[in-house]
Amino acid sequence: MNKKKIINDPVYGFVSIPSGLIFELIQHPYFQRLRYIKQVSMTHLVYPGALHTRFQHAIGAMHLMSLAIDTLKGKGIEISVEEEEAALAAILLHDIGHGPFSHSLEHTIIDGVSHELLSSLLMDRINKEFNGKLDLAITIFNDQYHRKFLHQLVSSQLDTDRMDYLNRDSFFTGVSEGVISFDRIITMLYVMNDELVVEQKGIYSVEKFLIARRLMYWQVYLHKTVIGAEQLLIKILQRAKYLSSMGVELFATPAFRWFLTQKIDKDNFLAEESHLNWFTRLDDTDIMSGIKTWTQHEDPILSMMCQKLMSRDLYRTVMSDEPFSEELMNEVYHRVKTYFKLKDEDLQYYVFTQAIQNSAYDTHHDNIKIWMKTGEIRDITEASDLSNLETLAKKVQKFALCYPKELGYIANPAKK
């Protein structure tokens, strides 16, 4: 069978599948599951085009990895056939552990289990099926290979993962601020002392990359309406889990029921292999089928939240640079409790807050290094003449408050 296939990607055009092993990994059921997991969760409720998947992103990141390796080999960096295939496999599988709605439900379905851990567990499983053919890929993925630059291409502050998701998410949302010069960045890559560096000529493209990342976070990923929708989704699952624990019958697919009816944390997840088996059968469609059905459930809180999500009648979300005062929160709680005639224990489903942190660049971890024409290696913040790059390295914290629109607007909430 001819396994040298091509995929027509809307962002990059024709993407080649370079080897039989990569083709077999793409065909694996664990990877095919990613077709049914949205890349940016509830973002389509703000940007209707944002319905692309983790499957598309993984293929795109693999394509950029291939371009990066070709660039480095063209500059005389020796990369063996085995190293190249392993790096491609590592980036292809880097998100294989994502669950339904990606980051939104990461710690709600399974408490304390990250998608990185799940990716590692699933890669180990596939490796057993493939008789150890992923040994080197897993070593690179876990940053245990002596040639550090290969891991940096998979996971760092200037990796092929970030380059693809910024490019792809800006394409599907239509937010042009996220467009980056990925091709120029890749062309300017080099390796010194087995670490990734960027030639000085590429410094402006890296600056644009960091600025685009900041803009995409606050304009897309952390958009207030997206936050409100994701928080509502989380609250729906919390309510469903509570009702299940009380013996209330809820419609759910077999895979979804497994996680609804049990309290699963990191310890018992790792101790019982059946949990991972059920996780590999879980995707967005399981969650949405439950939510769609629960709109008619007899529990008024669950049905209300599900109806609001399905009809995009979302809670009002207010953002603030400062934490919301106790005085304001007490006022909101009182107004919601009175309006909806609620018990105190039910307020958590009507009013909720979230602290959000983001920085476009971390100066203390895996820095982006610029290879100056003098031969000197500098951090991007030192090499750049753009004064606000250091500002991008600062953590920005904001606070979100969500409550039903029936209450109307709360005047100047941050100043209360």
Q: What is the pLDDT of residues 59-85, one digit of tens each?
A: 999 999 999 999 999 999 999 999 999
Average pLDDT over residues 271-277: 94
Q: What is the pLDDT of residues 4-25, one digit of tens each?
A: 789 999 999 999 999 999 999 9
Q: What was the pLDDT predicted at 12?
A: 97
Q: How far is CA 314 from CA 208, 226, 304, 307, in A?
A: 34, 10, 11, 9
Q: What was the pLDDT predicted at 129?
A: 97
Q: What was the pLDDT predicted at 394?
A: 81
Q: What pairing do the DSSP bridges indicate for beta strands 195-199 and 189-192?
A: antiparallel
CB 116 within 8 A of CB 98: no
Q: What is the pLDDT of residues 350-377, one digit of tens each?
A: 999 999 988 888 877 888 999 999 999 9
Q: What was the pLDDT predicted at 393?
A: 76
- Percentage above 90 pLDDT, the chain: 86
Average pLDDT over residues 76-105: 96
Average pLDDT over residues 229-253: 96
Q: Rounded to an integer, what distance in angstroms lies between the CA atom of residue 219 and that of residue 214?
A: 9
Residue 387 pLDDT class (50, 70, 90 cuts): low
Q: What was the pLDDT predicted at 416?
A: 43
Choose among 241, 216, 94: nearest CA to 153: 94
All structural domains of the chain: 6-222+360-391 (1.10.3210.10), 224-356+400-415 (1.20.1250.30)
Q: What was the pLDDT predicted at 413?
A: 53
The number of residues making up the chain comes to: 416
72-81, 219-228, 344-353, 381-390: which range is least confident on average? 381-390
Q: Rounded to an integer, what distance in angstroms lies between the CA atom of residue 120 and that of residue 100?
A: 17
Q: Rounded to an integer, what distance in angstroms lies between the CA atom of residue 196 and that of residue 216?
A: 25
Q: Rounded to an integer, what distance in angstroms lies between the CA atom of residue 296 and that of residue 382?
A: 58
Q: What pairing do the DSSP bridges indicate for beta strands 352-358 and 396-403?
A: antiparallel
Q: Which residue has the tokens 């990734």?
A: 196
Q: Rounded to an integer, what distance in angstroms lies between the CA atom of residue 86 and that of residue 79?
A: 11
The pLDDT of residue 388 is above 70: no
Choose among 246, 21, 291: nearest CA to 131: 21
Q: Which helix (H) or strand (E) holds 84?
A: helix 81-92
Backbone angles phi, psi at 228, to 5 degrees: -60, -40
Q: What is the pLDDT of residues 138-172, one digit of tens each?
A: 999 999 999 999 999 999 999 999 999 999 999 99
Q: What was the pLDDT predicted at 359?
A: 84
* pLDDT, the chain, mean: 94
The pLDDT of residue 40 is above 50: yes
Q: What was the pLDDT predicted at 2?
A: 63
